[in-house]
Amino acid sequence: MKKPLQKSDPAEVVVLERCHIVESGDNRNAALSIKFESGDPDLYLQAFTESDCKSWIAALREANSEGLQKKILHLQQLIMEMKESEPADCLAREATQAGPILIPKLPHVEFSLACRELAAPARERKPNAVVQVAVINTQEQSLTAYSNTEIVEGTRDPLFLTGVTFPPEYAICEETRVKLTVYDVKDKSQETRSFLGCTTFSVGDLLKSKDQQLTLSLRTSDGTNTVGTVVVSHLKMGEIEDGEVDQIAADAQGQKYTLVCEAASHGTANDKDNNPLMNAVFKNPVCKVYRFQTVDSKWMFVREQMAECTLSFNIPKQLITLYIQEDMRRIQELKDLGDLSSHWDNLRKEVINHYGQMISSYQETLTELNKLTGSSFKPSCSKAEKYLEFIPINLHTQRMRVSCPRKTDAAYDVITVGAPAAHFQGFKNGGLQRLLSRFEAEKKNFSTAYQCIYYSPENTAKAKEVLTNIGLLQPLISSLADQLLQASQQHSSELLKEALKTLSDKTEQFVHALKDELVKNALLALYTARPSYVNKRHSTVCNNVDGNESPSKENCPHPLKRQDSIPHHSEYDEEEWDRVWVNVAKSLNCIIAMVDRLEEHENNNQETATDPKLADVITSHTSWDWQEQLYPLVVTLKDCVTEVVDRAKKSMTFVLLQEAACSIHQGLVLKQRRDVVFSQALAALACGFVMRLYAGLEDKGFLQQLHLVGLIAQFESLLSTYSEEIGMLEDMEVGISDLQRVTFKITEAKSEDPNDLQPIVSGRRDYYTVEVPLPREVFDVLPNEIKEGKPLQVYPVLFNVGINQQQTLAERFGDISLQERINQKNFEILDGYYKSLSEKVPLQYLPCFQTQSDLKELLETLQQNILTKKRKNVEILWLAGTICRRLNGVRFTSCKSAKDRTSMSVTLEQCALLRDEHELNKDYFIRALDCMRREGCRIENVQKNIKCRKYAFNMLQLMAFPKCYRPPEGTYGKVDS
């Protein structure tokens, strides 16, 4: 308030708090009143005009504390709406720039809940309590359901093991209000429940309260009656003192608890889970927190975090692009074969036509995938969609981090993914394993019908290998030859020797790769397919025979060992091919001899240059002299290599033409099916490799194991060996086995931009490399072998045990030999990996576990269980998983959709780890299992997939399940999955 003079000092200050501005004038006067809720006298103000009065009323209403608070809440609401479209760091930056009105988000906010003295719903029954947590939108006066606790039965003082977590991605601040509603659950299966009471609090009240703990009264809906209290305890992340640990005690009889639960050293754990490197590949995390009691009455803090992976779509899209490029190269190679007889030319046209159809189909799929944005996973309900068939089903990462008093934090990872299988193509005729076996058996008959030459799978694989080697070595030899000329131009003996050594090694490798009878005999077969070829004996191309008829010795001086179907002709000079590739070796020898001569000349010049009488005579070899001497020899080497490549490429292409022509339609359909299954499997493997690498970047023992031996990737499958799931398992077996063709390389990323941290796939169907970029500061501290690009091997193993009602039928009335064969075969791979690891890496580099079982003993027990004829022997899966973790490996768990049976397996494994490694109290094992299955990450996974919080089981199915794989009552039912 001021005096009438415009420049006068303030005479009085009015605090506009808890007040209302009302118009109080009449027809003659324009006035307003400020009425205070505190009971202070009203303040009467008069304006000159009515319009002035109204503008003052509006200004004063906006200036009071309630008006400012509404502005703050409105701006907070805008932030919450923007959080889906803007990164968290943008919001934080804007909040800082805007000043105190925009309140920045808080980091992880987590709290636990307990109730005391709840009102009994009936005299004869104590409540079965559950707490529903909701966030209040004060601006819109609405509630958003956020999470629930588990149900604690038959007590008025329930302690809830499931906590509440607001991760950094969630827009929460100190003014955010949370509503807690307590219900009494009468029937879990029918989800019938009655309201007991509710209360609200702000996050700021919790954080600023004494001991960061609130005790709130629960009131009925009309607010008149108190029905108990709820205790909210902030879960603090940090070191705890021994005295504080002792406070975390429980009176199990009286259900009275001191509600303080602290996590040892959890701040650094949060940083690892949410650093930029992790956030570049893993998206949309879902967090859950729990507290469980240990055997010594202490409390452990457990956090589950489930996330999607960008590689679900990224890897398949790269693979499809590589498939298209490879098939287009194959078409060009077929065209480059030159003139063929009409029979072979027609077959070539037909094969090219089918390749073109595949390319068109793949391009269409890639176009559709590039249109997709948003979610980074394929839900189970989309598993049979055509344009999504290359995408893995429901691929997620799951990490359980455990903090116990006075112990180091521990983390356990698992990748969950639907079984890699061709769901769109279906399983009417079985899966890949059966289809490929049948195809190889029938290929001989096809070759007769098409008048083709039958090549065994080994020879076909060899032809692909030769083509791969040619593609890699020819440009490399050409580049090394140019380096040799550059060294000669510089007149440097050292550079010349170094360049020559590398060139010699690669050229010898090239010659060795082509020194194969298959190439020689395929050239003869191609010769007989030329239009100019005249078969004087009028013999037809014969099919593979079992040695009953063999050509004469004069026409077949060098028959193949595995087949005698290659045509031979006396007019064809079989030694011509030997002369061609021998010319490569001769050219190299000439270069070596010339380099030796040049060096000898150089040495002689240096010795005689000291004699002044000879100074005028000596003409030292200048740099152009060296290059002039070597240039024609290098050109000759390149020409010889080019001639060899041209002939070898055509001969191997002809081999593959005959393979495709033997069964054009069926063979290419199988190829497409294998592409689909491999794409799903590789996306899952890349996800697991990246997660394991990120977790082990500071573990020198793991990094040494990685480059010396490689990484074990253990796939756990819960598919049955009955009906359609047999086909899925047959697909999965081949897809996992094909992962042996994959190696990984670690590279330095161009920048820390998320796009530059995405893995890159290169190669062709016979051999793929996945490059994983790391930021410079991370890359620089890696072992030299890894930084130099050493290929990192992966050893995939698959173990399967069916657990559902279909497996019961298979075990009693069907056939489980597929499962037995898979388990035995993959045990041998696992055992071989352990032996190799034992020879190359000290076993003390492996992780330490509380249970000190010897790895060798675990492997022997696993083998015994595999050989034992026992129904639904899930101990095979438990042992395989334990061995994998002891070997620093990557764990994968799969069923049909990675949603229901997978959830039961993952939660069981997590609780078993808490029991075996962190001394979980045995009385809490079932409760912990129920918590994770009822309100943990896995039920959120179900919700994401089918928009329903129900596992797809019915009571009849669950009767066939092992007991430890059955979900809690009320969490399952008939749903579309």
Burial 407-438 (b: 16+ CB within 10 A, else e): bebbebbbbbbbbbbbbebebeebbbbbbbee
290 phi and psi angles, rounded to 5 deg: -140, 160
How deeply is 355 buried, as exposed, middle or buried, from its count of CB atoms within 10 A (0-12, 13-18, 19+)?
A: buried
Pairwise CA distance, residues 621 & 602, whole Å: 7
Marked catalytic residue, from 198, 309, 640, 895? 895
Six token digits for residue 588: 């190299």
Element (H, E) at 384: none
Amino acid code (one letter) for 308: E
The two tokens of residue 526 are 């191609």
Instruction: Look at residue 758 and give its three-state secondary structure.
Output: coil
Give the CA dihedral 312, 313, 316, 319, nearest 10 degrees: -130
Q: Phi and psi of 789, rounded to 5°?
A: 90, 25
Nearest-angstrom CA–CA distance, 210 and 233: 10
Give the pLDDT score at 528.
82
Length of the chain: 977
- What the block records as the tokens of 621 is 């070899």
Burial (0-12, 13-18, 19+ Cβ within 10 Å), 470: buried
| Helix ranges, 200-251 (H) | 203-208, 242-247
The pLDDT score that the predictor gives to residue 3 is 62
- Spatial separation of the C-alpha atoms in residues 253 and 822, rounded to whole Å: 50
Q: How far is CA 733 from the centre of its chain?
A: 19
The SS3 call for residue 94 is helix
Q: Are strands 410-416 and 396-403 parallel, antiparallel or unpaired?
A: antiparallel
In sequence order, the β-bridge partners of residue 109 are 166
Helix (H, G, I), strand (E, B) or coil at 690: helix
Q: Is the dihedral of CA 418, 420, 425, 426 positive or negative?
A: negative
The dihedral sign for the CA sequence 500, 505, 506, 507: positive
Look up 895 and say whether it is catalytic.
yes
pLDDT value, residue 474: 86
* 3-state secondary structure (DSSP) of residue 282: strand
Going across the sheet that includes 43-47, the strands are: 19-23, 30-36, 43-47
491: left (phi over 0), alpha (psi -120 to 50) or beta: left
- State how far the Cα of 951 lies from the Cα of 244, in Å rounded to an integer: 40
Indicate the DSSP class of residue 755. G
Report pTM: 0.79
Q: In terms of DSSP bridges, do strands 19-23 and 792-800 run parallel, antiparallel, or are they unpaired?
A: unpaired
From first CA to last CA, the distance across the chain in angstroms is: 70
Tell me the three state secondary structure of residue 648.
helix
Alpha-carbon span 658 to 347, nearest angstrom: 9
Strand partners, 746: 772
Residue 700 is inside which H or E element, if any?
helix 700-708
Closest CA to 484 of 642, 644, 591, 597: 591
**Cα-based distances in Å from 332 to 49, 319, 327, 732:** 89, 20, 9, 32
How many angstroms separate the CA atoms of 289 and 133, rounded? 14
**Backbone dihedral region for residue 750 (phi beyond 0: left; psi -120 to 50: alpha; all else: beta):** alpha
| Burial class of residue 104, CB neighbours in 10 A (0-12, 13-18, 19+) | middle
Mean pLDDT per 10-residue interval, the chain, length 977 residues: 62 76 74 78 81 77 68 60 42 33 53 92 84 85 87 92 86 87 84 87 89 91 86 68 38 35 34 70 92 91 94 97 95 90 88 92 95 88 92 96 85 96 94 90 64 75 84 87 84 82 87 81 83 50 38 35 40 68 84 82 65 47 65 88 88 85 78 96 97 93 94 97 95 97 96 92 93 95 94 97 93 91 97 94 80 86 93 96 95 96 97 94 94 95 93 92 94 81
